[in-house]
Amino acid sequence: MNQRGMYLIPVFCVLLTLSVLTPPILSALERGPAGVENVSQPGKSWYFTVSGDSRDCGDLIMPKIAKSIESIRAQTPVEFYWHMGDFRRMYDVDCDWIKRRNPGFDCANRGALAANDMNDYLDAAWSDFIEQQITPFGPTQVFLGIGNHELLANRTRGDYRRAFQKWLTQEPLHSQRMYDSANYHLYTNEGGTYYHFIKNGVDFIYLDNADGTEFDAAQITWLGQVLKADGAMETDDSAKKNDVKTIVVGMHAALPYSKSRGHAMDATCQGLCSGRLVYDMLRRAQTDFGKHVYLFASHSHYFQEDIFQTAQLQGQALPGWLVGTAGAEQYKSDFWQSIQYGYLLVEVRVDGTINPKFKPVTRDMPPRISGEGGDKLTAFCYERNMSPARSDAFKGDCACGEAR
């Protein structure tokens, strides 16, 4: 069998599976368990925040993000912060970690490590991420998404699920899973790496494309069931209506044919095929079901909006944002471009539309890290933490990779 045929078969199987999904998943219209929805005051806008890729300098940048969110709480109370993955470098030490251990370490030129540095780093990497980057958020709820660096250094999804079980099984994720299984025959593993939860009429969906930046058939089938449930407008009881107005989808790597396709799901035929299928499913949720659909990703380390306004997706572009700005080395085409860290503050309006605004965090914003190591870390992160823009899009011919 040729390469083209190999990739068409799994996509055909997924489409066949989706076409025979049975009506019981649409039987209930209570779109979430008690305690999941209606957190914000009815009739008012509410807010969430998002960014990703906090490796390299996250111990400096993430507390600044947390402090910034807390400082605007009176005017724009934020319900949660959503991390799009890549917590730690893993194939090498993060600058923020090694600077605490050895303030003189040259992060820009990656100086030689001491004998036990790498082993000690790998032992501490995830617990350090929790202590240094998540704990500062305090009362602000944090949701985590898996990125490709979570699967480096021989780590597995099982390792990830065990390390971050607290966040993967928290409310409303646990209650949403229980409710879905009881009312929609929609099953996922407790503490899984892809999930969804419904809050105030918005279905937040996190997709796992960390391994080879592709989606497997089981996840695509699950997504199809979730979207069908979101799209159900009536049951036999015509007085009941589905109250999901908006679908917000987060993932680590952007779907194919974005402005960042050089470092997204376009790197392989598997990524193109499965990513295009997911994109089309989400586009149909907008065109066929009348939902507001928005997409967020990171992976490429910079901020960019309208990422699907490309020639390949002309007339089919969904609103999308790239927010890989939580501390990772910035991808710059010009060394003299400034480094920009920060997060996206997203207003959810009463009608279900959103209004995202990028909020930068600067070197002088609190908290600041003092001492020799802190000063040198700050200087490196804001002046030198960059690398050339990535370009690894697949150059071959993929039968299912053509824009439709």
- Strand duo 195-199 + 354-361: pairing: unpaired
Residue 281 lies in a domain: yes
Q: How far apart are CA 174 and CA 160, in angstroms?
A: 17
Residue 9 lies in a domain: no
Residue 356 lies in a domain: yes
Residue 29 lies in a domain: no
Residue 402 lies in a domain: no
Q: How far apart are CA 80 and CA 72, in angstroms?
A: 13
pLDDT (0 to 100) of residue 334:
66
pLDDT (0 to 100) of residue 212:
66
pLDDT (0 to 100) of residue 40:
57
Amino acid at 251: M
Q: Which helix (H) or strand (E) element contains residue 246?
A: strand 246-250
Provide the residue-wise pLDDT of the chain in tens; the chain has 404 residues: 444 444 444 444 444 444 433 333 333 334 444 434 444 566 789 999 999 999 999 999 999 999 999 999 999 999 999 999 999 999 999 999 999 989 989 998 887 787 789 999 999 999 999 999 999 999 999 999 999 999 999 999 999 999 999 999 999 999 999 999 988 888 888 999 999 999 999 999 999 999 867 899 999 999 999 999 998 744 434 333 458 999 999 999 999 999 998 889 988 888 999 999 999 999 999 999 999 999 999 999 999 999 999 999 988 999 999 999 999 999 876 655 789 999 999 999 999 999 999 999 999 999 998 877 889 999 999 999 998 776 666 766 787 844 33
Q: Which domain holds residue 113?
A: 48-388
Residue 358 lies in a domain: yes
Determine the 3-state secondary structure of 100 from DSSP: helix
Residue 403 neighbours by CB under 8 Å, 6+ apart: 257, 276, 312, 313, 316
pLDDT (0 to 100) of residue 143:
98
Cβ contact 255:242 at 8 Å: no
Residue 251 lies in a domain: yes
Determine the 3-state secondary structure of 142 from DSSP: strand
Residue 264 lies in a domain: yes
Residue 60's CATH number: 3.30.750.180
Number of domains in the chain: 1
Q: Structure tokens of 92?
A: 């090498």
Bridge partners of 250?
A: 206, 296
